[in-house]
Amino acid sequence: MAQITTVRLPDDLRKKLKLRAHLEHRSLSNQIETSLRMALAAEENSDLPLQFIKDILEARAEKEAGMARHFRI
């Protein structure tokens, strides 16, 4: 279960996150969560390009939403 945590963000960072949230049709809290997950994944996998990490996170979200399809190679 999610817990409420108060975090102070610099105004410029908050504005960037709010704009990106608007463009991606997310709430500000969901945008912060998404950005933080990407940042942590990028930090933990510094040898991988950021776009590759974004693609993996997007694929995981699609799978969790039931949008994944089984295929054979």
Domain membership of residue 4 (yes or no) is no
Domain membership of residue 3 (yes or no) is no
Return the SS3 of 7: coil
Q: What is the DSSP string of 18-58?
A: HHHHHHTT--HHHHHHHHHHHHHHHHHTTTS-HHHHHHHHH
Domain membership of residue 70 (yes or no) is no
- Look at the pTM and tell me if it is higher than 0.85: no
pLDDT, one tens digit per residue, over 12-26 is: 999 999 999 999 999
- Amino acid symbol at 43: E
The Cα 37–Cα 32 span in angstroms is 9
Domain membership of residue 60 (yes or no) is yes
Number of domain units in the chain: 1
The Cα 66–Cα 51 span in angstroms is 23
* Rounded average pLDDT over 30-44: 94
- Please list, in sequence order, all residues whose beta carbon lies within 8 angstroms of the beta carbon of residue 24, skipping any fewer than 6 positions away: 31, 34
Domain membership of residue 22 (yes or no) is yes
